Structure 1
């Protein structure tokens, strides 16, 4: 099975994440997309994160009705901080019958050369890149690389940080979240 790995803190997961993941799985050769909930991204401050299991629960709630989209907590039990290359190697060893690919936003591709062992990733895995910033293509040192596949997915200007700030400001952002996620966040009083 061909699995696309969509890494993120998903703090919280929102409709933009689902639209991108669904588009990629429907318009590529991938069979499924796993939302890999990251406990600690080395490039993000940990203090802004909800606890791991609340974020995982929201991903469960968001993907429940989508057969090709699944939550993944594989990084919860790996050494911290998590590095994508280590997770990819671990997954390949744990699930040798599957083929894994990485999914990332175009903005992340710009700094991909700073990732731990990015050469190993490009040697062994395909990277599916979706547009992120604007309609203007971002130039990177990886343009034309045979392992990088640009997906013509919708450009989503929605971000988890915007949602967190909006909730803190008392704004109604319910339409930006899957219904079950909104209900859970509202009951738990998150981000207020």
Structure 2
């Protein structure tokens, strides 16, 4: 089985994440897409994040109606901050019968050489790169690597940062979040301060 790993802090998960995940689950050779909730991305401040399990719960709420999209808390059990190379090694050992592919936006491709042991990731895993408004793919030194695959997918420019700021400023973000996620965020008054 071929699994696409879509990593993120998902703070909060929004419709853009779901559109990309569902597009890949339905229109590529992936059998499933796993939304891997990252407790601590080494490139983000931990104090800006909701509790790990609250973010995990939002991803579960968002994906429960999508049979090909699963929620993963695998990084909760690994040392922090989380490094993708460590997670991939752990998953490959735990599920030797699965083939794991990374899913990332074009914007992340340029920063890939700064990732811990990125050469090991590229050597052992394919990476599916979805488009962003900026043409970062053209600038990447890795775009001709045999394991890098640019995929056709909708261009979605919604950011969790924008959503958090909008909620704080009492703006209506209902169209940007899956309905159950919005209800959970609203009920718990998340991102209001």
**Residue 100 (1) aligns with residue 100 (2):** yes
Give the equivalent residue in structure 2 for 1:35: 35
Alignment of 1:75-90 (within 5 A): 75-90=75-90
Give ranges in structure 2 of 5+ residues lacking alignment: none
Give the equivalent residue in structure 1 for 2:169: 169
Structure 1, residues 66-108: CA drift from partner, whole Å, max 9, x if none? 0000110000010011000000000000011111011111000
What TM-score, normalized to structure 1?
0.98
SS of the equivalent of 2:139 reads: coil
Counterpart CA distance in 2 for 1:48 and 1:114 is 22
Give the equivalent residue in structure 1 for 2:62: 62
- Conserved 8 A contact 2:128-2:148: yes
Give the equivalent residue in structure 1 for 2:26: 26
What is the CA-CA distance between 1:132 and the residue it aligns to?
1.7
What TM-score, normalized to structure 2?
0.97
Q: Count residues in correspondence.
A: 192
Give the equivalent residue in structure 2 for 1:71: 71
Counterpart CA distance in 2 for 1:144 and 1:138 is 10
Counterpart CA distance in 2 for 1:137 and 1:145 is 12
**Greater CA drift, 130-139 or 26-35:** 130-139
Give the equivalent residue in structure 1 for 2:111: 111
What is the CA-CA distance between 1:32 and the residue it aligns to?
0.3
Root-mean-square deviation (Å): 1.0
Counterpart CA distance in 2 for 1:152 and 1:166 is 30
- Conserved 8 A contact 1:110-1:138: no
Give the equivalent residue in structure 2 for 1:153: 153
What is the CA-CA distance between 1:135 and the residue it aligns to?
5.5
Counterpart CA distance in 2 for 1:22 and 1:149 is 18
- Conserved 8 A contact 2:8-2:35: yes
Structure 1, residues 10-34: CA drift from partner, whole Å, max 9, x if none? 0000000000111112221000000
Counterpart CA distance in 1 for 2:16 and 2:51 is 21
SS of the equivalent of 1:80 reads: coil
Counterpart CA distance in 2 for 1:108 and 1:90 is 22
